[in-house]
């Protein structure tokens, strides 16, 4: 084959692969390494998008639960049985919303719009490390949502 000609095609979903092949064909040894670095950052971006979308969905469900409870609370039969489960459900959903807002702020707005503020806040948790803090937040989001749903179902069953 002629210099710079490859015998295979690359996937259209990987727009960085041709760049690495081109750089290598030009005689630059670091071309493939550059392509791999760009590919890794693209993968990180996709993972961030998936995480943020997931948290947005949970935030929508938690806030919708609170709104529906507030809208239909006057329609519930009186006296309420298992009132503590309703209170626990509301507290769990509020915790879920709070953790979601902090997660979304830390992963999006603070990181890209105010990096200095983001670094100052995250540096307070430096001993834990950023991945552990974000993991703790995401765990709080999902566990508090599941707990809120559990308490809400428990309340509904008790009042049927």
Range of the structural domain that residue 99 is part of: 47-158
- Pick the residue with more confidence: 62 or 28? 62
Whether 53 is covered by a domain: the verdict is yes
Averaging pLDDT over each range in 7-16, 44-53, 99-108, which range is the top one?
Answer: 99-108
| Segment 105-150, tens digit of pLDDT | 888 776 666 556 556 666 666 666 667 878 888 999 999 999 999 9
Whether 68 is covered by a domain: the verdict is yes
What DSSP character marks residue 30?
T
- List, in order, residues 6 or more apart from 86 with CB less than 8 Å away: 69, 80, 151, 152, 155
Whether 103 is covered by a domain: the verdict is yes
Annotate 51-76 with three-state secondary structure. HHHHHHHHHHHHHHHHHHHHHHHHHC
Specify the number of domains making up the chain. 1
**pTM confidence score:** 0.65
Whether 91 is covered by a domain: the verdict is yes
Give the residue-averaged pLDDT of 85-98.
Answer: 94
Let me know the angle formed at the C-alpha of 93 by 52 and 112, rounded to the nearest 5 degrees: 25
Integer Cα distance of 14 and 17 in angstroms = 6
- Pick the residue with more confidence: 24 or 42? 42
Whether 92 is covered by a domain: the verdict is yes
Give the residue-averaged pLDDT of 76-103.
Answer: 91
């Amino acid at each position: 084959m002629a210099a710079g000609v490859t015998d295979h095609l690359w996937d259209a979903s990987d727009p960085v692969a041709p760049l690495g092949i081109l750089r290598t064909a030009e005689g630059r040894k670091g071309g493939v390494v550059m392509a791999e670095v760009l590919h890794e950052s693209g993968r990180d971006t996709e993972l961030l998008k998936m995480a943020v979308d997931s948290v947005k969905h949970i935030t929508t469900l938690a806030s919708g639960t609170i709104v529906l409870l507030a809208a239909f609370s006057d329609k519930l039969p009186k006296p309420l049985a298992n009132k503590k489960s309703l209170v626990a459900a509301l507290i769990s959903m509020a915790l879920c919303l709070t953790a979601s807002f902090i997660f979304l702020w830390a992963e999006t707005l603070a990181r890209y719009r105010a990096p200095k503020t983001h670094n100052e806040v995250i540096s307070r948790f430096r001993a834990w490390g950023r991945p552990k803090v974000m993991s703790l937040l995401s765990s709080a989001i999902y566990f508090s949502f599941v707990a809120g749903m559990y308490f809400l179902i428990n309340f509904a069953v008790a009042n049927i």
